[in-house]
């Protein structure tokens, strides 16, 4: 008799790993898009690297806010 895989329990480690790996991926993707978009805006507006610095900081603020809300939810 072979053992059948058990469904994931609601509080399993796999669930937490997937949740936080997803948040980390979103952080990296958003920062990459923010830097790229900032550099393109700076090139288009002929400004020193203003937007290349400001956009990633705004994105970091938003991601940390989202992370704070996700981790402080009461069940």
Residues 6 or more apart from 28 whose CB is under 8 A from it?
none
The domain locations on the chain are: 28-75
> Quick one: tokens of 2?
């072979």
pTM here is 0.69
Tens of pLDDT, residue by residue over 3-59, are: 665 555 556 788 878 878 888 898 899 999 999 999 999 999 998 889 999 999 999
């Amino acid at each position: 008799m072979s053992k059948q895989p058990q469904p994931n329990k609601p509080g399993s480690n796999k669930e937490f790993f997937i949740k936080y790996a997803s948040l980390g991926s979103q952080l990296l993707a958003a920062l990459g898009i923010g830097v790229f978009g900032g550099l393109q805006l700076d090139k288009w507006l002929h400004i020193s690297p203003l937007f290349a610095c400001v956009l990633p900081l705004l994105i970091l603020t938003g991601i940390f806010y989202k992370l704070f809300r996700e981790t402080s939810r009461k069940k």
